[in-house]
């Protein structure tokens, strides 16, 4: 059977009225930028390339920028520019890039151009996360429920794309000819799991509720859950998320008592919203510990939120911990 390319997949969705031409154009541009980022990542360390090196600059969040953070951001911005989208919001930029005053597509693309920067030199999976939604000049922010499309690319053993336009989630893989082709897989997150992901090095800073919840998992068959759990933590949200789409799990980056971590580490607009849209479309659940991520009203481009997502029953278990 011939594999469906992303272009043909989007064309069919457009003909069914599920996605606009403008959104298709932006998604195709993102695929093109991601293909280049995947090549850069694969060639890192060969010759003079040193994409994990620090640039000496910091982004708005105070993260040190690495060479690939900056390159990925520039590639995405320049690839989106001719597509007709109105604005580009990036984790790596203080302000929105407004492509042309008066453009009336009203489509905003928000992106974490390079997720998992600490893994660039380690040959572990890194990625690009994106979110598309309608918004107008004057206020480029919208709640996550307004997203028209969202997804992420993961640059690992395979370069993959998980995409939603609101009718479930589809998976694509970059083939040897340089085309994203649909995988023979309909991503759905099982409701139950025995696997969790959290940076346990932060445990002394966690709120008591997080500590208690993780303790019940660690207690295994001898504890209240009566079953053993396993732990995985990649340090790249895209890698942890992809695994959860494959086989279930719960991911937690909660708030903690370190300075600047009172709302966790992950950013609502660039990371939590697109992941949450995908997760809900795959029958999982994503919350900040209190309400669904998609119902949060963003108040600034770079705001952080606690992020808990994955298998729905397990996210419910976290919620029921007091």
Confirm whether 283 is a catalytic residue: no
Confirm whether 112 is a catalytic residue: yes
Query: Which one-letter DSSP state was computed for residue 9?
Result: H
Minimum distance, C-beta of residue 12 to ligand AHG, in the bound complex (Å): 32
Residue 115 is a binding residue for Mn ion (CB under 5 A): yes
Confirm whether 69 is a catalytic residue: yes
Confirm whether 73 is a catalytic residue: no
Q: Which of 73, 92, 170, 240 is an active site residue?
A: 92
Contacts of 222 (CB under 8 A, 6+ apart): none
Q: Which of 73, 115, 195, 280 is an active site residue?
A: 115
Residue 265 is a binding residue for ligand AHG (CB under 6 A): yes
Contact 133, 105 (CB under 8 A): no
Bridge pairing between strands 195-197 and 230-231: parallel
Burial 159-169 (b: 16+ CB within 10 A, else e): bbbbbbbeeeb
Minimum distance, C-beta of residue 124 to ligand AHG, in the bound complex (Å): 11
Give the residue closest to Mn ion by C-beta.
115
Q: What is d(CA 274, CA 293) in angstroms, rounded to the nearest whole number? A: 10
Confirm whether 237 is a catalytic residue: no
Residue 112 is a binding residue for Mn ion (CB under 5 A): yes
Minimum distance, C-beta of residue 107 to ligand AHG, in the bound complex (Å): 23
Q: What is d(CA 115, CA 111) in angstroms, rounded to the nearest whole number? A: 10
Confirm whether 256 is a catalytic residue: no
Binding range to Mn ion, per CB under 5 A, among 111-119, 142-150, 182-190, 211-219: 111-119
Binding range to Mn ion, per CB under 5 A, among 36-44, 108-116, 177-185, 240-248: 108-116
Confirm whether 114 is a catalytic residue: yes
165, 170, 173, 177: CA torsion to nearest 10: -60
Contacts of 14 (CB under 8 A, 6+ apart): 20, 21, 24
Minimum distance, C-beta of residue 202 to ligand AHG, in the bound complex (Å): 7
Q: What is d(CA 304, CA 240) in angstroms, rounded to the nearest whole number? A: 19
What is the biggest distance separating any 2 CA atoms in the chain, rounded to whole angstroms? 63
Of 49, 218, 235, 303, the one binding ligand AHG (CB under 6 A) is: 235
Size of site (CB under 6 A) for ligand AHG: 12
User: Which x/- pattern over 93-132 shows residues binding ligand AHG (rule: CB under 6 A)?
Assistant: -------------------x--xxxx--------------
Residues 58-77 that bind ligand AHG (CB under 6 A): 63
Contact 153, 174 (CB under 8 A): no
Of 20, 125, 165, 236, the one binding ligand AHG (CB under 6 A) is: 236
Main-chain dihedrals φ then ψ at residue 119, nearest 5 degrees:
-100, 5
Q: What totals of helices (H) and strands (E) does the chain contain, helices first? A: 7, 15
By C-beta, is 13 or 265 nearer to ligand AHG?
Answer: 265
Confirm whether 92 is a catalytic residue: yes
Give the total residue count for the chain.
322
Q: What amino acid positions are annotated as catalytic residues?
A: 63, 69, 91-92, 112, 114-115, 271
* Residues near ligand AHG (CB under 6 A): 63, 91, 112, 115-118, 199, 235-237, 265
């Amino acid at each position: 059977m011939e594999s469906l390319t992303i272009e043909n997949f989007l064309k069919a969705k457009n003909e069914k009225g599920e996605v606009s031409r403008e959104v298709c154009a932006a998604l195709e541009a993102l695929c093109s930028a991601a293909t280049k980022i995947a090549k850069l990542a694969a060639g890192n360390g060969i010759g003079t390339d040193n994409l994990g090196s620090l640039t000496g600059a910091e982004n708005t969040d105070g993260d040190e920028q690495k060479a690939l953070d900056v390159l990925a951001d520039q590639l995405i911005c320049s690839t989106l520019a001719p597509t007709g989208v109105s604005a580009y919001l990036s984790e790596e930029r203080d302000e929105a890039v407004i492509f042309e005053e008066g453009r009336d597509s009203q489509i905003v693309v928000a992106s974490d151009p390079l997720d998992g920067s600490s893994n660039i030199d380690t040959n572990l999976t890194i990625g690009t996360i994106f979110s598309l939604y309608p918004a107008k000049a004057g206020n480029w922010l919208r709640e996550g429920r307004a997203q028209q499309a969202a997804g992420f690319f993961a640059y690992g053993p395979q370069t993959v794309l998980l995409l939603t336009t609101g009718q479930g989630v589809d998976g694509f893989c970059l083939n040897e000819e340089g085309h994203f082709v649909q995988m023979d897989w309909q991503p759905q997150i099982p409701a139950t799991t025995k696997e969790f992901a959290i940076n346990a090095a932060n445990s002394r800073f966690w709120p008591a509720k997080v500590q208690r919840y993780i303790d019940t998992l660690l207690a295994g068959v001898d504890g209240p859950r009566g079953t053993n759990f396993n732990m995985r933590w990649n340090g790249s949200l895209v890698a942890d998320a992809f695994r959860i789409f494959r086989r279930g799990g719960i991911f937690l980056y909660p708030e903690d008592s370190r300075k600047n971590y009172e709302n966790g580490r992950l950013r609502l607009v660039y990371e939590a919203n697109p992941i949450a849209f995908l997760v809900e479309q795959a029958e999982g659940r994503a919350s900040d510990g209190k309400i669904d991520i998609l119902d949060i009203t963003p108040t600034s481009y770079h705001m952080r939120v606690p992020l808990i997502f994955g298998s729905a029953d397990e996210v419910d278990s976290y919620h029921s911990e007091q």
